[in-house]
Chains A and B, each alone.
Chain A
Amino acid sequence: MSLVDFKRRHFIRSSCGYMLAIPFLSSLAPKSLAQAHQKKRFIAVRTLNGQVPEHFYPQRPMQKMGTNIYHKSFRQGQTLSPVLDSGFKDIASKLSLFRGLDHSKGGHNDTIMLTAGVHHYESNSTVLISNTIKDSLDELIARSGSVYQSTPFLRHLKLEPSVNEHNPYRSFSFYKGEKTFYERNMRSLYQFLFYGKNNPALQGQLTKTKKQKAIDLAKDGYQQLLRNRSLSSLDKSKLNQYLDTLNDLENKFASGSSSQGQACREIVNQQLNPSDHDSINDMAIELIALSLMCNMTQVVSYSMHGFGRYPGETNSSFHDISHWEFSSSKRFQNVGYGPERKMDYALASEQKYLRYYKWAAGKVAKLMYKLDQIQDSDGKSILDNSLVMWGNEFAGADHSPYSIPILIGGTLGGRVKPGYWDYTLRPLRYYHGRSDVHMPVGTVPYVNLLTTLANLYGVDRNVYEKNGRYGFGEFDLKQFNHYFYDERRVGNVEIKPRDNYASFIGSETNQRKSVPGWL
């Protein structure tokens, strides 16, 4: 697949097999892009099934910054861990890695990462399960006046690339309690973003004035309907949302930003033929980079597909294998959940286990690296002026929600302090299950990270603080598992939420607190 010319001209294949870029985009990007003011960008990347701690995390940081707060910086060129391997080394100094952020629930729902309130399979449902969380953070950031000063081409680009649109899993974000749509077909998305690129006959069907007039006339229909007294308040709310969207569209027509994709047309080449899970994700990464580079959007949600597929394979499910446990000899065996069970006793699965994690990490690295190669208006890279957040629905094996692994690339223009932030206890203790499989319990609620992000992107707290809850998201300590494995006592011990979260419970200040040290 070759999506864009710049890739063919300027990308080289590295020795580790990733497609890496040399500096290229600043020279190719139109001047109008360079004149744009610095923008806040947020990119959320979600995978499923968590991580294995010993493969994901580097050695623990030793610099004590406060009670249960440890930190160390990453050096440029440093390989961090078996999963966070060489793909990240050139951007290592711009990474923030978190350990010890606890959520209270753990189900297979990739919305959890951005809601901290939905804890269930619910993509078949039409509304959020949580009574208190109605919006995912990405949707609120996309509507923040602090992010967009003018109407963009697209407030929020949402992708869940899939070779087969009929695959059942589908990601959603949520706004006002209703799910919002993710793009699955990357070819269709490309056509939408760069409509008419290779066929001038498709462009300029109506003049700007006519477009505005058409939208204006359409709005009459919405206003007329809103006057209907028999309409429910829910339907009226929806119609008002539509009117906002049409106003956005009208503004775009007026400003010409509806065709901002054309600014990058000279570097877009329509040769699209992604054929497998690997190449379809590569295409997604290209489209994300292009959309950000061309100022078409500043908020992206990228869900890296359902339960996971191995690179180049369409018939494997990483979910099943992720349920394996280690034996005491640290080899994978047992459990036998799902189709890969025949390998349980072959003791040869560790590499396969790692293969998916490394593959997914490689895609994240590729995206971050690409964004680091694009120069923003202030001379920094787009990565520098963004936060690219990679996480999961829970921490890892057996749906453990404790110490959710989060990696964030970029610093949002220097607003955060990168490095390894570790909030777990010293020495490590209290595991969800076993120390070789599960993450240890942390000391900082995961919701504090979402609150931090909401503040960084200027999301009005009145929008997300509901029903006497402070901060973003829901940290329901009633769901907290009381019995944890303690290596020092070689057995399960009871710990109560107050043991770790006394300062959080009932404290408005602490519930609105940012993650320690990061800002």
Chain B
Amino acid sequence: MFSLQLKSLLRFLSFVILATVFFAPLSFQNCAGYEANTDGLMGDLDIESNKDLSLQLDRLNNQAAGKKYTCSHESQLGVGQKNMRRHSYQEIKNMIQTLFGESITRQILAELNLLPKDPNIKSKHYPNSLDESFFSRMAVISEKIANIAVRDRAFVSQYGACNELSNQGCYSHFVKNFVARAIKRPLTDSELTIFVNRLSLDRQNEPEVLIASVLMRPDFLHLILNGKAEGKKYKLTPYEVAHRISFATIANLPDEALWQAAANNQLTTLTQIIQHVRRLLLTQAGQKNVVTFFREWMSLEKSGEVSTTEVVNANINPKTLLQESNAEFDQFVRYIVFEKKGYFSDLFLDKTVFPTGNQLARVYGSELWTGGSQLQSRYGHRGIFLRPVSLMGGSNVTQIIDRGVKIRTELLCDSLIFPSLDVIGSRDKDLTPEEVNPQFHSNRTIVSNKTRRLECASCHKWINSLGFLLEHYDSLGRYRSQEKVYDIADRLIATHEIETTSDNLHISDLKGQRVSDVFEFNEYLANSEKVKTCFVTQLSEFTYKRKANSGDSCALSIKEDFASLNDVPVLELLISNIANEEIFYRGK
């Protein structure tokens, strides 16, 4: 299997497509009512609200189905890569743990917790800068670590191959090894001399000052990839390649094997790169990173907390259900990617469920999973998309618009535009109370009524029909055949039949085909070139913690081609996302 994938990858590496690079995102015009109640579902909004509607819709309708990226020449590979990004807080915590080991880390847990968690938004949108609050905290942390580390003989001997840093030779050795790992490259002789001499007047204090200072340096807090100029791009050094691999796979510094590979100049061929990427992705940290990607892709940031009458009546604890569902989603990803070695289609179609708690087992209508035989949901749940945690909405009623936006922006990677103020203001002007009263109408009908005005419908046709497909699943992810409406006293006052059919989902490669329910749509997601293209885009953005740019088009084109092969396991797609020619370069 490995050789097959490698061949496929190499085939596409040499594949040149002569065509104009088309990278402009799709755009939609003013969408009344399109305002999800979290930013998590906003996707990548294209803020071009003043552009002419007809032009944008033409652009959309004329876009070819399926593949999106082209590569005019493979020399363009890697030109989209940047030379500096700050590390996430999690990466900084991981690095400290790796550099100082479990024992010291345990002693500084309180200080490490001073660092906040990363924002619960997609990592490509993390703040780019570190601020005074961060540096103040980092000063406290580095001070504490330094104070403990210099007294820890195991730590000293790890880097110094000796026990006493007061010994000049020992200290030099320590500086050379420790600083190199922390700043991600070996020190030059002159740098080593400077480091050693800077503090030589006050030998007793050298090590702790040195350690504290290193943790505040830019090359510790950032991934900096300089490389050497080579035509219109820069070729990275083996150490820089090693760090790009390690942060892309395990969100941490290289392990010893990868560091040694860099030291021995053994990161120069794709075969060598693939070997390390595969090895690291299979580690616990690598698997965790993969799960994190799928969680980001499915936008699982929402809290999922609801308090409906039905929840009370059915004795469901939404928080517990959310916890169980989150853990089960992670388990499913691990199963598909690492155990089953499943294909892209399995991500959407595999029916295996792993309910380890009673709440989730009830949603699935299954027994508890105890690690034995495989279970399935009685209600059609499957894949990463039709899973309770992916369907939860943090609301009493199904958030049709949010769901539609999520599919459009996250799974199809189309862009949407925020409605103008005028459009929002006009939203309810010709609605009667009866038309939006759930006693008389289903949620689907009410959303349709609220977005029926021309200026709303011109955009909502891209959103609503997708959201309607999921109406058989309530906001807790439970299957339902009817929508129930309760009054303020929690009395059932109306039921509405669920209708999910859509005559036109306005997806280019569906070509106006009628879709009757979400299972049919899920089949489409599993096999669509467009969705695969979206997947490789999202994966690349997650890996490099930034939005894709036109310089990435070549690399994305290759990844897109590779993903279009049906016999490539997801794990191989994850490997090829990192292990391709672009890993050797950065742009200007």
Judging by beta carbons under 8 Å apart, are B422 and A170 in contact? no
Instruction: Return the contact of A168 from the options B194, B301, B395, B450 (Cβ within 8 A).
Output: B301
* Contact surface of B with A, Cβ cutoff 8 Å: 35, 37-40, 42-45, 47, 83-84, 110-111, 113-114, 116-117, 119-122, 124-137, 139-140, 142-144, 146-147, 183, 194, 198-199, 202, 205, 208-210, 212-214, 216-219, 224, 226, 229, 234, 301-303, 305-307, 318, 394-397, 418, 420-422, 424-425, 427-428, 431, 433, 436-439, 446, 450, 485-488, 546-547, 588
A218 touches B136 (CB 8 A): no
Cα separation A481 to B241 with both chains bound (whole Å) = 53
Q: Which of A328-352 contact B (CB under 8 A)?
A: 333-346, 348
Q: Give the CA-CA distance A445 to B450 in the complex, in Å.
A: 32
Which residues on the A side are within 8 Å of B136 (C-beta)?
A: 153-154, 192, 249, 258
Contact B129 A235 (CB under 8 A): no
A218/B132 in contact, CB under 8 A: no
Known contacts A107-B418, A342-B487, A231 near B83 by CB under 8 Å: yes
- The answer to whether A178 and B128 have CB atoms under 8 Å apart is yes
Asked whether A255 is an interface residue with its Cβ less than 8 Å from the other chain, the reply is no
Query: Which stretch (A16-24, A180-188, A417-425) binds chain B?
Result: A180-188
Task: Report the minimal beta-carbon distance from A119 to chain B, rounded to whole angstroms.
Answer: 8
Across the interface, do B433 and A334 meet the contact criterion of CB distance under 8 Å?
Answer: yes
Is there an interface contact between A121 and B42, defined as CB atoms closer than 8 Å? Answer: yes
Task: Name the one of B229, B318, B438 contacting A342, with C-beta atoms under 8 angstroms.
Answer: B438
Contact among A169, A180, A221 with B127 in the assembled complex (CB-CB below 8 Å): A180
Q: Tell me if A398 and B39 are in contact (CB < 8 A).
A: no
Asked if A339 meets B306 with Cβ closer than 8 Å, knowing A181-B133, A221-B219, the reply is: yes
Across the interface, do A249 and B135 meet the contact criterion of CB distance under 8 Å?
A: yes
**A170-B119, A192-B140 are known contacts; what are 17 more A-B pairs with Cβ within 8 Å?**
A106-B421, A108-B35, A126-B547, A183-B116, A202-B111, A205-B143, A206-B146, A206-B147, A213-B199, A214-B142, A214-B146, A231-B83, A242-B218, A249-B139, A335-B428, A345-B439, A345-B487
Cβ of B209: which chain A residues have Cβ within 8 Å of it?
Answer: 206, 210, 213-214, 217
Which chain A residue lies CB-closest to B132? A245
Does A354 lie at the interface of the complex (its beta carbon under 8 Å from any beta carbon of B)? no
Which residues of chain B are near A344, meaning CB under 8 Å?
Answer: 433, 436-438
Contact pick for A178, options B42, B129, B397, B427, CB 8 Å: B129
Assess the A202–B144 pair: CB atoms within 8 A: yes
Q: Say if the beta carbon of A416 comes within 8 Å of chain B.
A: no
Residues of A close to B226: CB separation below 8 A: 228, 230
Chain B residues, CB < 8 A from A242? 130, 135, 218
Chain B residues near A105 (CB-CB < 8 A): 421
B219's nearest neighbour on chain A, judged by CB, is A221
**Contact yes or no, B485 A180, CB < 8 A:** no
Interface centre among A123, A325, A432 (most CB of B within 10 A): A123
Q: Pull 27 A–B residue pairs with CB atoms less than 8 Å apart, ordered by A.
A: A121-B35, A121-B418, A124-B44, A124-B122, A125-B125, A154-B136, A165-B120, A166-B120, A181-B127, A181-B131, A192-B136, A205-B147, A206-B146, A206-B212, A210-B209, A214-B212, A214-B216, A218-B214, A230-B234, A232-B83, A242-B130, A334-B431, A334-B436, A336-B437, A340-B396, A399-B421, A399-B425
A188 touches B397 (CB 8 A): no
Taken together as a complex, chains A and B put the C-alpha atoms of A191 and B110 apart, in Å, by 9
Whether B130 contacts A398 by the Cβ 8 Å rule is no
Closest approach, in angstroms, between the C-beta of A241 and any C-beta of chain B? Answer: 7
Q: What chain A residues lie within 8 Å of B219 (beta carbons)? A: 221, 225
Task: Let me know if A164 is at the binding interface, CB within 8 A.
Answer: yes
Complex: chain A residue closest to B37, CB-CB = A319
Among A154-203, those with CB < 8 Å from B are 154-156, 158, 164-170, 172, 175, 178-181, 183-185, 188, 191-192, 195, 202
| B395→A317 contact, CB < 8 A | yes
Pair B129/A180 contact, Cβ less than 8 Å: yes
Q: Which A residue sits closest to B546, measured CB to CB? A: A126
Asked if A188 contacts B114 (CB within 8 A), the reply is yes
- Expressed in whole angstroms, the Cα–Cα distance for A342 and B209 within the complex equals 63
A433 within 8 Å of B (CB atoms)? yes
CB contacts between A and B, total, < 8 Å: 264
Chain B nearest Cβ from A95, distance in angstroms: 30
B155 to chain A, nearest CB (A): 16
Q: Residues 395-426 of chain A: 1 if any B CB is under 8 Å from the residue's CB, otherwise 0?
A: 00011110000000000000000000000000
Residues in B neighbouring A487, C-beta threshold 8 A: none
Q: Does A34 contact B (CB under 8 A)?
A: no
- CA gap between A105 and B47 in the complex, in Å: 14
A318 to chain B, nearest CB (A): 10
Closest Cβ–Cβ distance, residue B291 to chain A (whole Å): 15
Closest B residue to A222 by beta carbon equals B218
Q: Which residue of B lies closest to A333 (CB)?
A: B433
A120 to B47, CA, bound (A): 8
Q: Is A479 an interface residue (CB 8 A)?
A: yes
When distances are taken between beta carbons in the complex, the residues of chain A under 8 Å from B436 are: 334-336, 344
User: Do B424 and A399 touch across chains, with their CB atoms under 8 A apart?
Assistant: yes
With a 10 A CB-CB cut-off, give which of B39, B45, B132 has the most chain A CB atoms.
B132
Give chain B residues whose Cβ lies under 8 Å from the Cβ of A217. 198-199, 209-210, 213
**8 A Cβ contacts from A113-151 to B:** 120-126, 129
Least CB distance from B202 to A in Å reads: 8
Say yes or no: B396 contacts A214, CB within 8 Å.
Answer: no
- The reply on A315 being an interface residue by CB < 8 A is yes
Contacts of A155 in B (CB 8 A): 132
Q: A249-B139, A342-B485 are in contact. Are A121 and B45 (CB under 8 A)?
A: yes
Residues of A within 8 A of B125 (CB): 123-126
Question: When chains A and B are docked, how far (Å) is the Cα of A125 from the Cα of B486?
Answer: 39
A214 to B139, CA, bound (A): 9
Asked if A307 CB lies within 8 Å of chain B CBs, one says: yes
Q: Which residues of A contact B43 (CB under 8 A)?
A: 124
Is A211 part of the binding interface, using a Cβ–Cβ cutoff of 8 Å? yes
The distance in angstroms between the C-alpha atoms of A166 and B120, with both chains bound, is: 6
Chain A residue with minimal CB distance to B305?
A315
In the complex, the answer to whether B486 meets A192 with C-beta atoms within 8 Å is no
Q: Which residue of A lies closest to B42 (CB)?
A: A121
Contacts of A79-114 to chain B: CB distance below 8 A: 105-108
Chain A residues with Cβ under 8 A from B547's Cβ?
126
